[in-house]
Amino acid sequence: MQLKHLRTLLSPQDGAAKVTCMAWSQNNAKFAVCTVDRVVLLYDEHGERRDKFSTKPADMKYGRKSYMVKGMAFSPDSTKIAIGQTDNIIYVYKI
């Protein structure tokens, strides 16, 4: 098997800009990446960034840095994405 680099989606950044999770949609038309700053980046099948949104904590009294995103999954029709967080909640976003 030969591997071929197609494209770099996230360029190297200074500081902590680690990827915490990523997911492909079932029809391979969308790709989601979540970084350590709890921002979800959505890409199309060509690697072009199409959307970006911030996640939110279960309770704002604990602050925006009180959780991490640990998992993501697309719905079967790729119109929604479920985001699992370390503050014991799963949000479903319509995309």
pLDDT tens-digit series, residues 29-70: 999 999 989 999 999 999 999 999 999 999 999 888 899 999
The whole-number pLDDT of residue 39 equals 94
**What pLDDT score does 1 carry?**
82
Assigned domain for 60 exists: yes
Nearest to 53 by CA among 62, 41, 70: 41
Q: How many domains are contained in the chain?
A: 1
Is residue 1 a part of any domain in this protein? no
User: Measured between alpha carbons, how far is 51 from 42 in angstroms, rounded to an integer?
Assistant: 5
Of 32, 31, 94, give the one whose Cα is nearest residue 69: 32
Residues spanned by the domain of 35: 19-94
pLDDT tier at 15, thresholds 50, 70, 90: low
Determine, yes or no, domain membership for 31. yes
Predicted confidence at residue 49, as pLDDT, reads 94
24-30 CB contacts, 8 Å cutoff, 24+ apart: 24/74, 25/74, 25/78, 26/74, 26/76, 26/78, 27/78, 29/78, 30/74, 30/78, 30/95
